[in-house]
Structure 1
């Protein structure tokens, strides 16, 4: 993690800029089909921040959003289509996609929804079948 308590995240074209303060509540990888389809990749690297830690400092009018279901509202730039974050209202957390945060040391701690993986990862991290119990999951883990 960088020593700074303030981070900047940008969309692909830079029209939308976020300011993130403090430290994330957690970081890891999500393997669920929704995250894979949204990111167009085999896994999504997440960083979860308290809702009040994430501010749009530029391009609020360029933000578009979509909620396939109410627990995940996904945001992107309407100019370039670059994905920025997912709001999780029931948790009070925002997942700022780790790849869009500048000068940020991504230090994953867990895998979520590993039962849905299409890219097995042998990294020694805890692999939750769904989510940890505090986030409403079973807390069950899967062996590598």
Structure 2
């Protein structure tokens, strides 16, 4: 039996429920136009998990999928429209929106796609122009 911590999350109405287990691969803020448009906010708080750490526990048949590109398969609840997570198969991670797992101790470590920001955040965290090299980006940082 694993002693890894499991956290429960859901869509806005609760029709879709899921768990995430263990520790995420990373946490931070994304400032790209796609995430901002999808989240209807100036920035998106992400938690990146290995796909095998994310389990749908209720409402799997109620999940809709949209992909503008092959990089991101965005998932939402067909009942309330609440956003749940985004699968990034090319990066081998699933982005579970931090706000959808309320008891998870979210702690951002990085900003990605900061060159596209609409909301400057002076928090001392690294501000990546796009993505770290390990995720296929340039690895370049920009000024806070």
Query: Where on the TM-score scale, by shorter chain, does this alignment land: which range?
Result: over 0.9
Distance 2:21 2:106 in 1: 15
Partner SS for 1:137: coil
Partner SS for 1:127: coil
**Deviations 1:42-68 (Å, cap 9, x if unpaired)?**
000000000100010100010000000
Partner SS for 2:118: coil
Q: State the match for 2:39 in structure 1.
A: 39
Q: Where in structure 2 are there 5+ consecutive unaligned residues?
A: none
Distance 1:95 1:118 in 2: 21
Structure 1 runs of 4+ with >2 Å offset: none
TM-score normalized by the length of structure 2: 0.97
**Deviations 1:21-48 (Å, cap 9, x if unpaired)?**
1100000000000000000000000000
TM-score normalized by the length of structure 1: 0.97
Distance 2:65 2:75 in 1: 4
Q: Where in structure 1 are there 5+ consecutive unaligned residues?
A: none
RMSD: 1.1
Partner SS for 2:20: strand
